[in-house]
Chain A
């Protein structure tokens, strides 16, 4: 990409040196690395917005607002809420799919949230270190260019898996209204082979929402905290794409 050419050659090898040096004294300058490519950032913010809309409208579908007065023809409150939910759901599905496709062509950071390297001992050692850091047992955090190992684990289990589950169950539920001849039913109707009564699918879809609420809480907190505590940019990285390491 154009950015990559214009950028000074900050490779990861010299960053590894900084990371190793993190516990020690000063590093020179403020190195930056290009981590999140534009499609990753766009998907991040579109999905974030879609998820927020989905949570609010989804909650209102399960627990509707107080009754609207007047003739039924004079209002379409529930209709608009459901439309917004379905529209946001399809936006999320499209951008989540785009994000998966980007994992194949993007840099290796773009693949991080789709797997956990369970077989690597070093990975789990680093997860343990991160847990100790969050448990206030480590004085200094390690620095990582992309997600730290604990964050990667959380992203995969808390976000990727749950969002995929929500998209699948969401489309299955949507297919109920679209009818059994719709493409939604053909693609996602198998959900009802697992749970024949869609009442159960509603319940699990609802629980999935709460799981994502928990994820978002932790995600936002961890991003802000790391931004302050671990001397590397986190929040602005998702806007500019660059990770800056401070002294």
Chain B
């Protein structure tokens, strides 16, 4: 696989994809990346001339939902092209080779494409007990990850697991599941969070890297700006209802039927950076809010440990009993208020008593 300098174009033509479809893909990709009109030509040119970038796709502690999303990349052309355009040299879940044969590919790619391959990581390594909670090919996954990261050009952290830790890192995190950027610190890491990330976002990131030979511009959290610079809330089609103050108050109420804002139902759209409200899912068919359910914030750090998905205010666990900021605040403010009232009462009583004393003394 990927041994000769085969281009993406020659591969996809061999697979029976027409030149017309190929150009349609290039235009679509350019559009979804928000690039200018000339970009489609440049993408096409790059795919026709550049050798395919080898990609090693590894799986740590995860549920494979990222792969599931990726292979469902809605436009059939996207799926076909992506699975051909990158030279997916290793992906233990979907590759034909197995066992020793599969493991040899890792070594081969590492030696042959030193510093040139992309390491895509789905899931994360558990560090507790020497990493024994995730054994892959007879070795702890963390070791395999470190070895392959050593010679990679860049690392893509697929999904919330690789980016943030996700549910396996939920408190108390018994296996000490750790996001990739805490384990590999000397390589550029692109975080593509989401549980799973949107298929078109995944293919878009891969296309960008292979086309331009560099990483997309990243934000403060290491996420590609092109897909993660705005909140779900900013582009939500229910936003007018939010601004108007029209909210779903209860599931199945009239407002829910009318498609009002799900803010009060705990929608995490206002704090979640992702492209769901623009790119949407399943080929642009819908996304959670469109289906009547609030965003759960699955592309955000720690979304699994922030209380109910259906509460507006975050649960605070530091006070023993689970409370939100308002409950904590009201109890505290109430206590202060009561203390002030009591203090005022004592002051008044004292003052009266003192005055009486004074009057008595005056006689």
Residues A203 and B229 in contact in the complex (CB < 8 Å), given A63-B326, A67-B246 = no
Measured CA separation A179–B229 after assembly (Å):
7
Measured CA separation A209–B324 after assembly (Å):
13
A229 at the interface (CB under 8 A from B): yes
Measured CA separation A71–B164 after assembly (Å):
40
Contacts of B240 in A (CB 8 A): 72-73
Tell me the residues in window 187-245 of chain B with beta carbons closer than 8 Å to chain A beta carbons: 219-221, 225, 229-231, 234, 240-245
Contacts of B245 in A (CB 8 A): 64-65, 67-68, 75-79, 81
A214 at the interface (CB under 8 A from B): yes
Contacts of B326 in A (CB 8 A): 59, 62-63, 206, 210
Contact between A203 and B219, CB atoms less than 8 A apart: no
Q: Which residue of A lies closest to B349 (CB)?
A: A136
Q: Which residue of A lies closest to B229 (CB)?
A: A180
Contacts of A76 in B (CB 8 A): 243-245
B302 at the interface (CB under 8 A from A): yes
B347 at the interface (CB under 8 A from A): yes
Contacts of A78 in B (CB 8 A): 242-245
Q: Which of B312, B336, B351 contacts A218 (CB 8 A)?
A: B336
Q: Which of B300, B324, B332 contacts A197 (CB 8 A)?
A: B300
Contacts of B344 in A (CB 8 A): 221, 225
Measured CA separation A65–B263 after assembly (Å):
12
Number of A-B contacts (CB under 8 A): 134
Measured CA separation A192–B300 after assembly (Å):
12
Nearest Cβ distance between residue B87 and chain A, in whole angstroms?
33
Q: Which of A71, A134, A210 contacts B330 (CB 8 A)?
A: A210
In the complex, per-residue mask of B257-297: 1 if CB is within 8 Å of any chain A CB, else 0: 00010011000101100000000000000000000000001
Residues A199 and B221 in contact in the complex (CB < 8 Å), given A63-B326, A67-B260, A68-B244 = no
Measured CA separation A74–B244 after assembly (Å):
8
Measured CA separation A226–B333 after assembly (Å):
21
Number of B residues, CB within 8 Å of A:
52
Nearest Cβ distance between residue A52 and chain B, in whole angstroms?
14
Contacts of B330 in A (CB 8 A): 210
B8 at the interface (CB under 8 A from A): no
A200 at the interface (CB under 8 A from B): yes
Q: Which residue of A lies closest to B247 (CB)?
A: A67
Contacts of A134 in B (CB 8 A): 343
B112 at the interface (CB under 8 A from A): no
B3 at the interface (CB under 8 A from A): no
Tell me the residues in window 176-229 of chain A with beta carbons closer than 8 Å to chain B beta carbons: 176-177, 179-180, 189, 192-193, 196-200, 202-203, 206-207, 209-211, 213-214, 217-218, 221, 225, 229
Contact between B229 and A199, CB atoms less than 8 A apart: no
Contacts of A79 in B (CB 8 A): 243-245
16 contacts between A and B (CB under 8 A): A62-B312, A62-B313, A63-B326, A65-B245, A67-B245, A75-B244, A79-B245, A177-B234, A193-B220, A196-B221, A199-B268, A202-B314, A203-B325, A221-B340, A221-B344, A229-B347
3 nearest A-B pairs in the assembled complex, by CB-CB distance: A210-B329, A77-B245, A206-B325
Residues of B within 8 A of A (CB): 164, 219-221, 225, 229-231, 234, 240-247, 249, 255, 260, 263-264, 268, 270-271, 297, 300-303, 306, 312-314, 316, 324-326, 328-330, 332-333, 336-337, 340, 343-344, 346-347, 350-351
> Given A76-B245, A200-B302, list of 11 further CB < 8 A pairs?
A63-B313, A67-B246, A78-B242, A78-B245, A180-B219, A196-B301, A197-B297, A199-B300, A218-B336, A225-B343, A229-B351
